[in-house]
């Protein structure tokens, strides 16, 4: 009985239950601002799950990149477009949304049941002591994945220059 409620499992559910609740909040929120705030909460809870997996670098990047920079962009676009509280009054649309929700949820539950049956007796892989550290990620990034890293940086530079040219006022 003590194996059922280990500290690791309790900590997982402390992060997992609010993560699922905030993800559902993203989908069912009527206001885009509330949906964006629920998404920020989901990002933070997901970072907590990463910490439980001993992926501390990914957890920090999750907060900095997604909860920080990406959500600022989302909120900027929402405010720029002035998305209001639009409520379609079509009953057929609501029925189709609920049907999609039920079918998607049922499919997800079936997939999770199948996956849990497949990996029930499998042992988890052990990782080295430097797994997930900045040094280990940097070593792999700048040796094995150097070309894609540099290509991505070049692509982002071209995108920034293109955005400035498009946004620049014509003289």
The pLDDT value recorded for residue 49 is 93
Q: How far apart are CA 142 and CA 114, in angstroms?
A: 38
Task: Kindly give, in sequence order, each residue whose CB lies less than 8 Å from that of residue 55, ignoring residues fewer than 6 positions away.
Answer: 132
The pLDDT value recorded for residue 73 is 81
The pLDDT value recorded for residue 1 is 47
pTM, full prediction: 0.61
C-beta of residue 8 within 8 angstroms of C-beta of residue 54? no
Q: Over the chain (171 residues), what is each successive 10-residue block's mean pLDDT?
A: 69 91 90 88 93 87 87 79 59 77 87 80 76 84 92 90 77 55
- Residue 61 CA, chain-centre distance (Å), reads 11
């Amino acid at each position: 009985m003590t194996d059922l409620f280990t500290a690791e499992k309790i900590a997982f559910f402390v992060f997992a239950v609010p993560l699922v609740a905030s993800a559902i909040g993203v989908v069912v929120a009527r206001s885009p601002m509330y949906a964006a705030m629920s998404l920020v909460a989901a990002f933070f809870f997901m970072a907590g799950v990463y910490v439980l997996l001993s992926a501390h670098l990914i957890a920090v990047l999750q907060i900095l990149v997604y909860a920080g920079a990406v959500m600022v962009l989302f909120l900027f676009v929402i405010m720029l477009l002035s998305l209001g509280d639009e409520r379609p009054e079509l009953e057929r649309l609501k029925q189709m949304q609920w049907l999609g929700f039920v079918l998607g949820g049922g499919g997800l539950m079936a997939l999770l049941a199948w996956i849990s049956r497949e990996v029930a007796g499998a042992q988890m892989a052990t990782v080295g002591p430097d797994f997930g550290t900045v040094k280990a990620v940097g070593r792999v990034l700048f040796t094995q994945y150097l070309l894609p890293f540099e290509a991505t940086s070049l692509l982002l530079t071209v995108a920034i220059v293109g955005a400035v040219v498009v946004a620049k006022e014509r003289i």
